[in-house]
Amino acid sequence: MSDFEAVIGLEVHAQLATRTKLFCGCSTAYGAAPNTQVCAVCLGLPGALPVVNARALELAATAGFSLGCDVRPRSVFARKNYFYPDLAKGYQISQLDEPLCLGGRVRYVLDGEERSARLTRIHVEEDAAKNLHLGGRTVVDFNRAGTPLIEIVSEPELRSGAEAEAYLRVLREVLMFVGVNDGNLEEGSFRCDANVSIRPRGSTTLGTRVELKNINSFRFVRLAIESEIRRQEALVLDGGRVTQETRGYDDAKDATFAMRSKEEAHDYRYFPDPDLPPITIAPERLDALRTSRPELAEDVRARWTKELGLTPYDAGVLTAHPELARYVDDAARGLAAKVSLPANVAGKKVANFVMAEVLRDVTTDGLGAGFPISADALVDLLALVEAGTINGKIAKDVLVRMRESGDAAATIVERDGLAQVTDVGALEAAVDAVIAASPNQLAQYRAGKTALVGYFVGQVMKATKGQANPAQVQAILKAKLDD
């Protein structure tokens, strides 16, 4: 065990899921051609003034309630002044002395143990534009300028890269499930900076901290923090001192590198933005936001393990994204209603089918592309299985055809002749043919190798192109083999 203890605080910038920017009506959609989602306000033209997007504040308040914060009825926007080409006005509108949310907590599991870290605050601010370096030139795309963000600041209570990763995964999940953030790391909707310092174990004072910036995956956050802790320990053991600076992470070398030092740090000259009167949210509105939050992922998982009998692992897989969880719940409800199954039975059937068949497409296509078939279409498909019209194996085939053609399950079954063969005469003929063609296996079976029944079932299913009713086949085979 090292003689040092690491002290880590995280600052997460999460984009609020609004249609329009924080202080103007421009779209926040990702990926548009450069400078096509801009106006006088987000370009900082002379005479333009900011007007607060009320929806952004509500989403930020929802985030606060979901994380147990004290959501303030009054907050104040302040200007953070510095010069940079990606900052249209020469200042960023943020919050300093009176943020929207104070306190709060993120609860996560680390090495099987439940833990939590306190939050200092959550404040609302606008994003900067994006500098693009083209050859020797730098140009600026202002589409992102003015996008609403919340900055979630933790207390320096995390102790390892793994703990930071656990914290971030839960935080992202909470924000996604309450509809505040889309959780898209690639598009920069959820970004993390980490403040890392070390101190002798047992010490209560804080060491000089290094800020790790621009790390774009949870795994890299963990690796960067671990690497930075090792660097600081080696430095101190070598008689050196940690200097306050901003560092980046080179994943190829698994090492952090200096970006800029304290000497270049800005004096941001914060002051309350005179263009924006203090923000007030009526107590009734705050109450409504507090009580109308969507279900959190952990609540969904608890409900599913209890009511549907899903394993914690399966429940975890199916709550990887709020839309997936909603999809499962919608389909489970739909199936229970359609074929009069108890909710837990229908839920379990849907969960199993989604895990085995639907998720394959979801993970490859990504949730951005949506689900291969709608929850309603999935209900129709599974209802055919329940009714005995098709068997489970054919259902997989029908799913593929549904995705390709967009047609309804019943249409495909009808058109492609995939209905289950339940005619006893036809099944008996098929069984007889298989038994006649497998004299060796029959002899072994009758000699006591009864596990070979599986072989016979397989042959019959193959002969019927999978359309035989497996239960019926089993029964007929049993009777004939044991005859």
Partner 1 sequence: MTSAFELARGVGGDAVATSIGRARADAHRALLHVDESAKATEARGLLAGVPVVVKDTLCVTGTPTTCASRVLEGWIAPYDAHVVERLRAEGAVIVGKANLDEFAMGSTGETSAFGATTNPLDPSRVPGGSSSGSAAAVAAGIVPLALGSDTGGSVRQPAAFCGLVGLKPTYGRVSRFGLVAYASSLDQVGPIARDVRDCALALSVIAGHDPRDATSVDAPSDDWVAAVSRGVRGLRIGVPRSFLEGAEPDVRATFDDGLRALVDAGATLVDVELPHAKLGVSVYYLVATAEASSNLARFDGVRFGARVSGKDLVETYERTRALFGAEVKRRILLGTYALSAGYYDAYYVRAQMVRTRIREDFARAFERCDVIATPTAPSVAWKLGETPTDPVALWLQDLYTLPASLAGLPALSAPCGLGAHAMPVGFHVTGRAFDEATILAVAGALETGLGGSSSDGPAFAGGSASGSGR
Interface ranges with partner 1 (CB under 8 A): 40, 43-52, 79, 81, 83, 85, 88-91, 140, 267, 269-271, 274-277
**Identity of the residue, 48 or 185, whose beta carbon is nearer to partner 1 in the bound complex:** 48
Q: How far is the CB of 138 from partner 1 (least distance, A)?
A: 8
Torsion sign across C-alpha atoms 110, 114, 117, 123:
positive
Residue type present at position 70: D
**Identity of the residue, 275 or 416, whose beta carbon is nearer to partner 1 in the bound complex:** 275
Find the angle CA(130)-CA(101)-CA(289) to the nearest 5 degrees: 100
Q: How far is the CB of 93 from partner 1 (least distance, A)?
A: 11
Q: How far is the CB of 192 from partner 1 (least distance, A)?
A: 27
Classified as helix, coil or strand, 5 is strand
Q: How far is the CB of 33 from partner 1 (least distance, A)?
A: 18
**Identity of the residue, 90 or 368, whose beta carbon is nearer to partner 1 in the bound complex:** 90
Integer angstrom CA distances of residue 196 from 30, 190, 258: 31, 20, 14
Q: How far is the CB of 262 from partner 1 (least distance, A)?
A: 13
DSSP E strand boundaries for 273-388: 279-280
Q: DSSP string covering 299-324, please? A: HHHHHIIIII---HHHHHHHTSSHHH
**Identity of the residue, 41 or 390, whose beta carbon is nearer to partner 1 in the bound complex:** 41
Please say whether the beta carbons of 199 and 206 come within 8 A. yes
How far is residue 184 CA from its own chain's centroid? 8
**Identity of the residue, 110 or 276, whose beta carbon is nearer to partner 1 in the bound complex:** 276
Which DSSP state fits 357?
I
**Identity of the residue, 58 or 228, whose beta carbon is nearer to partner 1 in the bound complex:** 58
Q: How far is the CB of 35 from partner 1 (least distance, A)?
A: 10
β-strands 148-154, 4-15 pairing: antiparallel
**Identity of the residue, 79 or 121, whose beta carbon is nearer to partner 1 in the bound complex:** 79
Q: How far is the CB of 51 from partner 1 (least distance, A)?
A: 5
Q: How far is the CB of 276 from partner 1 (least distance, A)?
A: 5
Nearest residue to 458 via CA among 479, 440, 444, 438: 438
- In angstroms, the CA 385 to CA 388 distance is 5
Q: How far is the CB of 28 from partner 1 (least distance, A)?
A: 19
**Identity of the residue, 40 or 234, whose beta carbon is nearer to partner 1 in the bound complex:** 40
Contact residues for 444 (Cβ-Cβ < 8 A; gap 6+): 452
**Identity of the residue, 18 or 92, whose beta carbon is nearer to partner 1 in the bound complex:** 92
Contact residues for 232 (Cβ-Cβ < 8 A; gap 6+): 4, 196, 197, 198, 207, 210, 242
- Long-range contacts of residues 271-276, Cβ cutoff 8 Å, at least 24 apart: 271/78, 271/79, 272/76, 272/77, 272/78, 272/79, 272/97, 273/50, 273/76, 273/77, 273/78, 273/79, 273/93, 275/49, 275/50, 276/50, 276/52, 276/77, 276/93
